[in-house]
Amino acid sequence: MTRPASFLVEGTLKDILEVLPKISNNPKYDVTEIFKLDDPEAALYRYFAKEISTKEKKTIENLIKDTYYLAHIGEDEAKNLKYLSMTNYLLPIEKEVYYVDNEFLNNYNHYVLKDKYPELPAVSLEVKNTVSGDYLIEKERREEDNITFKDFLDFHYSVDELKNICRTHKIKGFSKGPKSHIIQLIEADFRANPDNYLSGYPKSAYALLAYLIIEDRNSISFLRAHGLNLAFFIAAESFRGLTYYIPADTLGIVKSFFQEHQMDPSDYIKSEDKEFYEGLPALEEEDFDWEADIDWEKELKDVDPELTEQAQSILEYLENMTPEGHVLTYLADIYGIVSYTFAAKMLNHLLEENNSEAEVKAIAKDTFEDSELKEQVYINPALVDVYPDIEEYYEDTPYYEPESLEDLTEYDDKHLHGQDPNTQDAIKFFRKLIKDNDEDFQLMSIDLLILSPLKSLITFEDADQILQELKNADSVRKFNELEAKRQLKKIYNHIRLWKYRGHTKAEFDAMQNN
């Protein structure tokens, strides 16, 4: 089965023309007045930017800044786009995922932000058709999200068909009442005795219900559900044929039926879909105790051998490290390469000590005994092969200087734990990719596979190496590479990078502009 492609859905200037009067009754927004101007398109975008909220402006700019190829946002970000959501430049394509048109973002960047960011690539017709198809399916699913049992029966069944349901289930009192009365009788009996309606079917009949439970939604795309059995009277194909669905207020009853009969939904779906759905339930917000001791020996059993080896090596490395060694490790992690002069300055400031450069050099040698040392610097071992000339590359860039130990240690922790608002969604995205559901193992994996490699990139284009490592890791599920790269860029734009001597990209850009 292929996605519907009966027509292309995409934003146009007409969308903005129609939205502007809804924002403001300013007479200059009249279409006749706009097209008298030398550049109507530029005027439309500038008028639009002038009228929308600061939050909407910021969300649009962040999208332009963080997007690599296709722009996708979650439900919370989409709520900020009050007026863009009135256009076809913003389309829902999954339950909590929205697509934002590159043409709009490029034009906004050009006319409003004065080409502040690089232009995004043009989207191919094939991709546009795919997005349009996903939108049409999601639009239909959203229409069905709140359909009630009463409305479902009223739409799909005639009076005679409803009476046959009553006869089959020995419901009395249906012969003289109107259609609404018959529907009430059936609904009351179904809710009181769901087993009478759901039990006794062959295994294949339960597949559709199993998919709905796994997706935790009362509808499913025909792309995944095509060919499934519609044996139950509460299941139907949508009017346009894009979805299969049940009344929204019966999904809880279906879930309870499966639980009470000890039926595992994954036993009823297609074998090729099991890996797709494995672990897909949404990551819940939790109050993690990040300071709690972790039994790493226990956590590292039966996981990716390569990650286990790396983690064990790190644990052994940290076990006997002195406080000075810990600080130097953090400094190396943030800067990649650090002069002994600066290392001594930071060590003495953060630990309130008075170490000489010679003492710091000795501590560094003990801390990084397997590293290749030079006379004036100590080197993070991971940096030697990746970026040997980093010291010269940004020799005129001042180091980022943390004010306290807390500043030094908490910055990356906030990203890793999803507490930084700039990278929360990205961290959640990558946590869902880790097969092991234990949060500690997920964080360890993200640190080893994503955060640490990102810091050492020469340019973001080298992020393909990180994606390749993720694809090869046994502990990582299959993923959409374009979306993963977009999420990587979010993190890359907000963490402290080696090539900027510990500054974020925004901090470095600000220094350059000054």
Task: Pick the more confident residue, 318 or 257.
Answer: 257
Strands 243-245 and 219-221: antiparallel
Q: Is pLDDT larger for residue 478 or for residue 287? A: 478
What are the structure tokens assigned to 436, written together? 């092991």
Contacts of 463 (CB under 8 A, 6+ apart): 454, 457, 485, 488, 489, 492
Rounded distance, CA 446 to CA 426, Å?
Answer: 11
Query: Residues 109, 114, 118, CA angle at the centre, nearest 5°?
Result: 55
Angle between helices 357-367 and 323-335 (to 10 degrees): 80
Over the stretch 199-224, which tens digit does the pLDDT of each residue have? 999 888 999 999 999 989 999 998 88
Q: Determine which helix (DSSP H) or strand (DSSP E) holds 377, and give its type and residue range.
A: strand 377-379
- CB neighbours (10 Å) of residue 474? 10
Cβ contact 69:122 at 8 Å: no
Position 376, amino acid = Q
Q: Please state the φ and ψ torsions of residue 284, each to the nearest 5 degrees.
A: -85, 150
Which H or E element spans position 372? none
Q: How far is 484 from 297, CA to CA, in rounded Å?
A: 30
Report yes or no: 394 and 500 within 8 Å, Cβ to Cβ. yes
* Structure confidence at residue 441 (pLDDT): 79
**Under 8 Å between Cβ of 381 and 371:** yes
Contact 253, 218 (CB under 8 A): no
In sequence order, what DSSP letters do the residues of 222-247 get, joined into one string? HHHHTT----STT-EE-TTSSEEE--
Among residues 253, 215, 261, which one has the least CA distance to residue 232?
Answer: 253
pLDDT at residue number 1: 46
Q: Buried b vs exposed e over 375-397: b needs ≥16 C-beta within 10 Å?
A: eebbbbebbeebbeebbeebeee
Q: Per-residue pLDDT averaged across 239-245, rounded?
A: 89
Within 13 Å and on the Cβ side, how many CA atoms surround 279?
18
Mean pLDDT highest for which of 92-101, 122-131, 351-360? 92-101
For residues 463 and 450, give the distance between their C-alpha atoms in angstroms, rounded to a whole number: 9
What is the rounded distance in angstroms from the CA atom of residue 327 to the CA atom of residue 347? 7
Specify the pLDDT at position 285: 38
Tell which wins on pLDDT, 303 or 451.
451
Q: Which of 30-44, 310-324, 358-372 has the lowest mean pLDDT?
A: 310-324
Instruction: Report pLDDT digits (tens) over 434-446.
Output: 887 777 778 888 8
Residue 84 tokens, joined: 């863009």
Evaluate if residue 337 carries a pLDDT over 60: yes
- According to DSSP, the residues that pair with 99 across neighbouring strands are 72, 91
What's the CA gap between 136 and 92, in Å, rounded?
9
- In this predicted structure, the answer to whether residue 380 has a pLDDT above a threshold of 80 is no
Cα-Cα end-to-end distance for the chain: 56
Q: How many residues does this entry show for the chain?
A: 514
Q: List all residues 6 or more positions away from 293 whose beta carbon is below 8 Å from its beta carbon.
A: none
What is the rounded CA–CA span in Å between residue 433 and residue 431? 5
Read off the pLDDT of residues 400-451 as tens digits, 9 standing for 90 and up: 888 888 777 776 677 666 667 778 888 888 888 888 777 777 888 888 888 8
Rg from Cα positions in the chain? 29
Task: Decide: 34 and 43 in contact? Cβ < 8 Å.
Answer: yes
Q: Which structure tokens are listed for 25? A: 């009754």
Tokens of 391: 């010291």
pLDDT in tens, 20-56: 888 888 888 887 888 888 888 998 999 999 999 999 9
Highest mean pLDDT among 96-100, 121-125, 450-454: 96-100
Average pLDDT, the chain: 81
- Interatomic CA distance for residues 191 and 185, integer angstroms: 10
pLDDT at 421: 74
Strands 236-237 and 377-379: unpaired
CB-based contact 60:85 (threshold 8 Å): no
Alpha carbon distance 55, 82 (integer Å): 10
Compute the half-sphere exposure of residue 234: CA atoms within 13 Å on the CB side of its CA: 28
Q: Where are the alpha helices (DSSP H) in 420-504?
A: 424-433, 439-446, 452-455, 463-472, 481-492
pLDDT number for residue 405: 81
Predicted pLDDT of residue 317: 55
Bridge partner residues of 377 (DSSP): 339
Mean pLDDT throughout 72-96?
90
Query: What is the torsional sign of CA 77, 252, 243, 204?
Result: positive
More confident residue, 309 or 272: 272
Q: Which helix (H) or strand (E) holds 221?
A: strand 219-221
